[in-house]
A and B are shown apart, each in its own frame.
Chain A
């Protein structure tokens, strides 16, 4: 018996400042609340920093998201509220000719709002790189 292709894909939609960003739900391992004192959170990059986007204010509802893709696991800070939604072909917007989007796989429109669908492999790579750079001084200390 053949299985029909899914008509919609579950996505987690979160915020970075004014923007709504979407990520394939299957790539998300864990989402947790964070506090300023959380040592794990201090090493994590904000998704807005990774993608060179404006982030929300300090009062924003921040969470830590752990994502995995192609054997890479990375942590990043996102802004809530986070919602689970399903995105299907009718939600996707056609791209203008020649539009190149290095960090996106496309755009969806839901409830009159544009959702930027993130390229999960690139995001994981950026987050991993950020964390590695941040940990370099600690590694240097260990070698001394």
Chain B
């Protein structure tokens, strides 16, 4: 499909959505698509969406302490509100980055928790909470290999956004810790 015909198709779909909303509003039935809240963050070149319900807090990255016999994606531990929490590099789990270059420049830790564990994920930028309609969580990936903790890939603000499955992320991290 050519660019102009693709644009026309998008415009037509948008127009239909607008008129549908207008019809519903006129009928007193305001359209409110079901949404979920996500924290949009950037880790290296990747944009990620972390489910807001799994986030405990976002803190400035202080000093990290390396720990023995840990896999490369575990950068160390940080003391956050008096607790020792492992600090994870998502780039490291993908094995694509030179971590020695990344560590000193990364400014935020996003602490996420599940029933099993809590981990702090290093990010470069926090864009804030964004509401993603559940219908938009349709996987738009092109079929390339991706880590198991990426639940879906979708377009957000003209960027590729990886929706993170926190349960799987924590599980993958813990399994790796055990293997080391």
Contacts and interface: CB of A to CB of B under 8 A. Distances in A.
Interface of A: 18-19, 51-54, 93-104, 107, 109, 114, 116, 118
B68 A93 contact: no
Contacts of B177: 100, 102
B85 A96 contact: yes
A101 B174 contact: no
A110 B77 CA distance: 16
B69 A96 contact: no
Interface stretch (B10-18, B43-51, B112-120, B122-130): B112-120
A113 B72 CA distance: 24
A53 B117 contact: no
Contacts of B119: 96, 98
B32 interface: no
Contacts of A99: 77, 84-86, 117
Given A98-B174, A100-B178, A51 B79 contact: no
Contacts of A53: 66, 68
Given A97-B117, A98-B170, A98-B174, A104 B83 contact: no
Which 4 pairs of residues, A with B, have the shortest CB-CB distance?
Answer: A98-B117, A51-B68, A96-B85, A103-B68
Nearest to A123: B68
19 contacts: A18-B66, A51-B69, A52-B69, A52-B70, A53-B68, A93-B79, A94-B82, A94-B84, A97-B116, A98-B117, A98-B118, A98-B119, A99-B84, A102-B68, A102-B177, A104-B67, A107-B79, A107-B84, A116-B67
A114 B68 contact: no
B8 interface: no
B2 interface: no
Given A107-B77, A107-B84, A97 B113 contact: yes
Interface in B59-117: 65-70, 77, 79-80, 82-86, 113, 116-117
